Structure 1
């Protein structure tokens, strides 16, 4: 098991790698297709995209051995942070009627309601599966004890 400090350092390292990778990709694309300079807003967009990618990656594809409680906290924290980063990116840089200030609030509310429902369903399903598994293990243990008595 790794410590929380090591886990955070790995997260920051992966964030910097994602930012660097996106920066190189953007520089190559802009060098091939444009004569403009890289604007500051593009750098902010690249950082927000890399941060959201890293958060989603740590929430969904976490390969590090950590305490189950830390893993659960990391899942929720990274998932919520990634959503916040995507919404922030849309609010700051998306043009058009999709991200009008009046549409953003219902958009955030819908995301929160849907995520809450999914988490609640996952929790209820997990409890039910754990109960079924414990029942099967209990039955298996009882069968094993009965077979030992017969011998």
Structure 2
């Protein structure tokens, strides 16, 4: 399961949260609302609202006498909804990846045109890390980073 806390830039949408909650239920029927809330990164009352909506829409069946022994089961409609949300998510991530890769295309073309295979990158921050990952896939050797920040410099 995707650890959303790792990605601080992207703000999860209701569809993303819905997908995550349905996925958690599909993996563990007796998961608590508190555990779901922690894994999704929301308060338990929001999980409760999603669960009520899921039940009203026929996506889950709840069973149990109280909160302490509650379990949830995805219905066929819930499984189809999870599949739809997952495919939509993968489609959007794929599109984002393609757009990002295309934005680096000019850089790759310049490096290859000039037959540069061993390069230094300026900027050892987040962007430099991304460029490092992308350029490794392009058979370009990053021999090091240059940065003005002494905090990012090593011997």
TM-score bracket for the superposition, by shorter chain length: 0.3 to 0.5
| Higher RCO (Cα < 8 Å, 6 or more apart) | 1
Instruction: Flag the structure with higher helix content.
Output: 1
Structure number with bigger Rg:
1
How high is the TM-score relative to the length of structure 1? 0.32
How high is the TM-score relative to the length of structure 2? 0.32
Instruction: Flag the structure with higher strand content.
Output: 2
